[in-house]
Structures are given as C-alpha cells and as structure tokens.
Amino acid sequence: MKKGNLLFLSVMTFLLVITGCSSNDQSKQPVEKKQPVAEKQENVELTISAAASLQDALTEITANFNKEHGNVKINYNFGASGALQQQISQGAPVDLFFSAAEDKFDQLVKDGLIEEKNGIDLVGNELVLVVPKDATKGIKTFEDLTKTDKISIGTPESVPAGKYAKEVLGNLKIWSSIEGKIVYAKDVRQVLTYVETGNVDAGMVYKTDALTSTKVEIAATADEKTHTPIIYPVGIIKASSHPKQAMLFYDYLQSKESMEVFKKYGFKGL
C-alpha cells in the first residue's frame, strides 16, 4: 500500500475514534428535565349569604382562608336568615348559604336548591337577655321584663333569634304581658344597636352578638329547654357558578382552624 493511502486511512480511523468517544461522553450527560409549568389559578368571586350573627367570625375565617387562596374573593350578604332564604328561592346568585336556623335551610334542601350531601349542621349558639351597661331598672331575669317600657327582639317570621325569643317568652308565660312593649328589628345586630343606644330597656340576642359589644351586659341566658335548638347549617347552592371553589371554602369552614375561630366568638361546636 502506498504511503499516501496509509496516512489517509490512519487519519480517518483517528477521527472515527474521537467522534465515537465524544458521542459516548454526551450520552452519559444527564438529560435536563423540563420544569412543569405551574397551573395558573383562576380568579373567582364567591357570594355567601350568611346570618348577621356570623359576621365577625366569618370575617376572620375569610382572612385566614385568603392567606392560602388569594385567588378566591368572598363577598358576603349578611342579614336575617329568613330574608336570605327568600332571596335564594327567588334566584339570587349565591354560592353558599349559612343559616342561623335549620328550618330556613331545610326549605332550600326541600326545594332542590341545596343538595343534602353538600350541607352540614356546623355550629350552635345560645340566646341571652341583654341590657345597657348603665341600666337602672334592675333587669336580672326574663321575668323582670315586665318592668320594662320597651323590649327588642328580631321579627319572628324572618329572624330566627326573634322566633327563639318568642318561644322563650311564651314558655315562661310572660309573652302576653309584654307583647305590646316589643320593638321588632330586622336582625339581631339591629336589636343589639337598639340596646346599646338606650332606645330600648332590654333585648334578646345570641350570646355571640352580646360578646362583641362593650356597651351591653348579659342579664340572663335562656334555658335550652325553653326554645328550639339553635343550630347553624351551611351548604353549597346547587346552581353555584363556581362549585369547585365553593366546595373548597365549604370544607375550610369545617377545618380545625375555622372551628377554633367560631369558638373564640362564642359559638359551640356540634
């Protein structure tokens, strides 16, 4: 073989060896993994119709919830449970209903607006008699209400606390003697305001409401045997526009963290 051909073959062999080594080295290099693209969270707004007595507790619970779920904005419609139930029945766009009375909630279940599996009795409450801090009429018991000029309770037909109050006064045999003195209110918060401002001598509200005020004092607590159990059910409206996020908040309301907040404001776990 001529020297020129031999040199050519040597060079080609060398290049093939180098190329093979290079390929092997590259094959040993770790393959860079593509990082998964984080799923963008959808910004949504939930509307929750809730009993007025839940306002303080739910405000704190929502702030805690939004620390982890900032993409879910929660708008509240606080009021009397009966009025809220009527609004939902008439087609108001609501995602969850948090009632202060089982009968208002059960009506929506019966009407097919809330599925029974998506509702739960969450917390309980107590009914108390409150008077202004500077009261001078010596009202210490429910029977002392005969000494008053004006007493405030929620409208029994639409305000659960008012219905419970009427039950208590009826069972204590004093309703007929004070009925003419009663000033009806649209919800328990209005009853509380009437007492705080001295527009009435006494009022009947939930214990949780009484604890929020520094201007009233609790004179007496109603015996549980004198009224229907005070239970707060909460559930997801079947026609919710955002069922996934509604379920997320519904579950959070049942969490240990949320239950601690409810207890902080005077509610009882069930």
Query: Which DSSP string do the residues of the chain spell out, in sequence order?
Result: --HHHHHHHHHHHHHHHHHHHHHHHHHHSPPPPPPPPPPPPPPEEEEEEEEGGGHHHHHHHHHHHHTT-TTEEEEEEEE-HHHHHHHHHTT---SEEE-S-HHHHHHHHHTTSEEEEEEEEEEE--EEEEEETT--S---SGGGGGG-S-EEEE-TTT-HHHHHHHHHHHHTT-HHHHGGGEEEESSHHHHHHHHHTTSSSEEEEEHHHHTT-SSEEEEEE--GGGS---EEEEEEETT-S-HHHHHHHHHHHTSHHHHHHHHHTT-EE-
Q: What is the mean pLDDT of residues 183-207?
A: 96
pLDDT of residue 39: 52
Q: What is the mean pLDDT of residues 42-64?
A: 95
Predicted confidence band at 42 (pLDDT cuts at 50, 70, 90)?
confident
Domain locations in the chain as residue ranges: 44-124+230-269, 127-226
Instruction: Specify the CATH number of the domain 44-124+230-269.
Output: 3.40.190.10
Nearest-angstrom CA–CA distance, 157 and 180: 17
Nearest-angstrom CA–CA distance, 100 and 84: 11
In the predicted structure, residue 262 carries a pLDDT above the cut 50: yes
CB 206 within 8 A of CB 126: yes
In the predicted structure, residue 35 carries a pLDDT above the cut 60: no
How much is the mean pLDDT over the chain? Answer: 89
CB 63 within 8 A of CB 203: no
The fraction of the chain above a pLDDT of 70, given in percent, is 85
In the predicted structure, residue 181 carries a pLDDT above the cut 60: yes
Q: pLDDT tens-digit profile of 7-29?
A: 445 545 554 444 555 445 444 45
CB 240 within 8 A of CB 74: no
Return the higher-pLDDT residue of 1 and 197.
197
Tell me, which fold does domain 127-226 have in CATH?
D-Maltodextrin-Binding Protein; domain 2 (3.40.190)
Predicted confidence band at 177 (pLDDT cuts at 50, 70, 90)?
very high
pLDDT of residue 110: 97
Q: pLDDT tens-digit profile of 132-166?
A: 998 889 999 999 999 999 999 999 999 999 999 99
For 177, what's the count of Cα atoms within 13 Å in the CB-facing half-sphere? 12
The fraction of the chain above a pLDDT of 90, given in percent, is 82
Nearest-angstrom CA–CA distance, 209 and 204: 10
pLDDT of residue 41: 74
Q: What is the mean pLDDT of residues 164-175?
A: 97
CB 237 within 8 A of CB 153: no
pLDDT of residue 38: 45
Please determine whether the domains at 44-124+230-269 and 127-226 fall in the same fold group of CATH.
Answer: yes
